[in-house]
Amino acid sequence: MSNFPKMNRRDFIKTATMGFFAAGTLGFLPYEKVFAADSLSVKTRYGTFNGFQGKNGVSTWLGIPYAKPPVKKLRWRAPEALKPSDKTFDAKKFGYAAMQVDDAQELASKNPQSEDCLTLNIWTRGGKKNKPVMVFVHGGGFQSGGSSDPSYDGANIAAAYDVVVVSFNYRINVLGFVNFSSIDPSYEDSGYLGIKDQVAALKWVKENIAEFGGNPDNITIFGESAGAISNMMLAVLPAAKGLFQKTIPQSANSYMYNTPESSAQVAETYLKLSGEKNMSGLMKKTSAELVELYVKVKNARAAETVRDYLPTCDGKYLPANPFKALKKGGAKGIKFLTGTTADEWRYWLLYMDNFFEILHQDYPKLSPVMQKYTAKSANAAQVSEEIYKTWLNGRPHTEELFATFANQLDWRVGQELASEYQSSFGDVYYYLFSEQSADERLRSCHAIDLPYTFNTPCALAPNPSPQLIRQIQASWTAFAATGSPDNEFIPHWKKYTAANRWTMELNSKGCMCHNDLNTKALQDLRYIYET
């Protein structure tokens, strides 16, 4: 049995809706602390930054500001560019994590927090210039997480492969993803500030990464869970055009977004529970008071919050429907390497042994895909159950079959369909990660790919296969360098298209490229996305 905490049904629903895409760190083991061996100074337009030689001789800079602190009058405002500076800054420790609640699965939540959180980190092995750049976007359900989490340590990738790795923080939860424009129209950006922060970080990288040895014209973004959803949104976001050329969304679904109307309901709840009458009152709240208010709102909206902190797609800044935008060529020219784990939903067994019983009972509430499909139905539960029974095709219900159904609908089918759409406008390489967890119940669950991506052992993968780590890191970095994941450690990785759905299955038993690995499920369930 896992030693992770168990919850009752109501608490579980609150947790699940709070962090549907909270990948967590899966109990990552402590990593070796890094101390400065000597100073590395890099001069940029925004100051000189003194870094250090970290583990494995990797040149490291931590906590570099990429935008003005979003505090005081800049709270709930779009990030503002820094002014040029000739000052010298120490870049030897991580910046503050974004404001958030304490979460046992999100180690960044244990670190010092502040609204002044817009910083980034850089790792490189040194040596030659003009290296491929890989920018990581952290997960956490748009409500938690941060770049200081040891599971996202970029040093291991930079030490093994000749790339520059970047990570950064962005605003989350009430400070980054609540649409307060319904209360005050001047706060029109508040429903997607975290995405605007990501764009600001990418602009800083584009402008300054050459000083750290990176090629500003060869940038790949990658991310897992909420970070992967962010990747999908950035790919179709006009404001992000030209800031990167390739993307690696790990366990994403571009169907996961909020609407202005739905997000406005969240904002109204904040105002009501705060006791304030307008945004001026909310502006007077301290950071700690806003976090307390976030918890109150989460509790009050426990049965409704599956989409509460997803980015608000208003059709002005973000496309009104990112999934349709992708189908229409919104990410034209961007190369994709994407996929899912084989058993995403099993991650939530960490919180509740009878998870799939609860998921089945409350599926229209806990599945953003089913919630959106049944939104106009008078009886969402009945519609959901009919869809499931049709998929069963006469087979008797079992927990195993429902787990397969939910995993297909919420993860694999959505990302394969997105890959099909994108293949008309750019190269797509698709994978299925099927390595098993150390906890046999969880199989190949959500986020189990992280310790293999970063070579950071965790409680569910205390001894990750060195061979699989090498295969994934070699594939990811080859894609970042050339646009193709082909490398000497895996079979030839063929492109994914509607006609030939080539999928690289990744596990330590032997990676293999399959054709039409998931075609039947895609045919059976794609109408949920396309109706």
Long-range contacts of 405-408 (CB under 8 A, 24+ apart): 406/345, 406/356, 406/359, 406/360, 406/363, 406/367, 407/342, 407/343, 407/344, 407/345, 407/346, 408/518, 408/521, 408/525
**pLDDT surpassing 70 at residue 11:** no
Name which of 505, 189, 493, 403 is nearest 317 in CA terms.
189
- Is residue 333 a part of any domain in this protein? yes
For residue 409, what is the DSSP state? Answer: I
- Is residue 200 a part of any domain in this protein? yes
Question: Three-state SS for 258?
Answer: strand
Percent of the chain with pLDDT over 70: 92
Confidence at 110, pLDDT banded by 50, 70, 90: confident
**pLDDT surpassing 60 at residue 205:** yes
pLDDT for 10 = 40
423-460 pLDDT tens trace:
999 999 999 999 999 999 999 999 999 999 999 998 88
366-376 pLDDT tens trace:
998 999 899 99
pLDDT for 27 = 45
Please give the Cα distance from 327 to 417 (Å, whole number).
9
Q: What is the mean pLDDT of residues 52-68?
A: 96
Q: What is the pTM of this model?
A: 0.94
Domain region containing 30: 9-351+422-492
For residue 6, what is the DSSP state? Answer: P
335-364 burial, b for 16+ CB within 10 Å, e for fewer?
bbbbbbbbbbbbbbbbbbeebbebbbebbb
- Is residue 363 a part of any domain in this protein? no
Q: Lowest mean pLDDT of 168-172, 231-235, 460-464, name the range.
A: 460-464
pLDDT for 39 = 55
* Cβ neighbourhood burial of 114 (10 Å; 0-12, 13-18, 19+): middle
Q: Lowest mean pLDDT of 17-31, 229-243, 471-485, name the range.
A: 17-31
Tell me if 168 sits within 8 A of 162, measured CB to CB: no
Contacts of 398 (CB under 8 A, 6+ apart): none
Strand partners, 122: 61, 166
Q: What is the mean pLDDT of residues 466-487?
A: 99
- Is residue 437 a part of any domain in this protein? yes
Residue 92, number of CB atoms within 10 A of its CB: 19
Name which of 94, 209, 69 is nearest 148 in CA terms.
94
Active site residues: 225, 344, 446
Confidence at 127, pLDDT banded by 50, 70, 90: confident
- State the CATH number of the domain containing residue 195: 3.40.50.1820
pLDDT for 34 = 38
DSSP 307-318: GTTSPB--SSSS
22-50 pLDDT tens trace:
444 444 333 333 333 345 999 999 999 99
Please give the Cα distance from 100 to 404 (Å, whole number).
33
Please give the Cα distance from 145 to 80 (Å, whole number).
23
Please give the Cα distance from 419 to 327 (Å, whole number).
9
Confidence at 213, pLDDT banded by 50, 70, 90: very high
Q: What is the mean pLDDT of residues 256-276?
A: 96
Percent of the chain with pLDDT over 90: 85
Please give the Cα distance from 390 to 398 (Å, whole number).
14
Phi, psi of 312 (to 5 degrees): -80, 115
Runs of H (alpha helix) within 95-244: 155-160, 173-176, 193-208, 226-235
In this structure, the chain runs to a length of 531
**pLDDT surpassing 90 at residue 107:** no
- Is residue 415 a part of any domain in this protein? no
- Is residue 71 a part of any domain in this protein? yes
Number of domains comprising the chain = 1
Q: Lowest mean pLDDT of 53-57, 135-139, 312-316, name the range.
A: 53-57
Q: Which residue in the block uniquely carries the two structure tokens 């959180």? A: 117
Runs of H (alpha helix) within 72-121: none
pLDDT for 228 = 98
pLDDT for 531 = 87
- Is residue 507 a part of any domain in this protein? no
267-313 pLDDT tens trace:
999 999 999 999 999 999 999 999 999 999 999 998 777 889 999 99
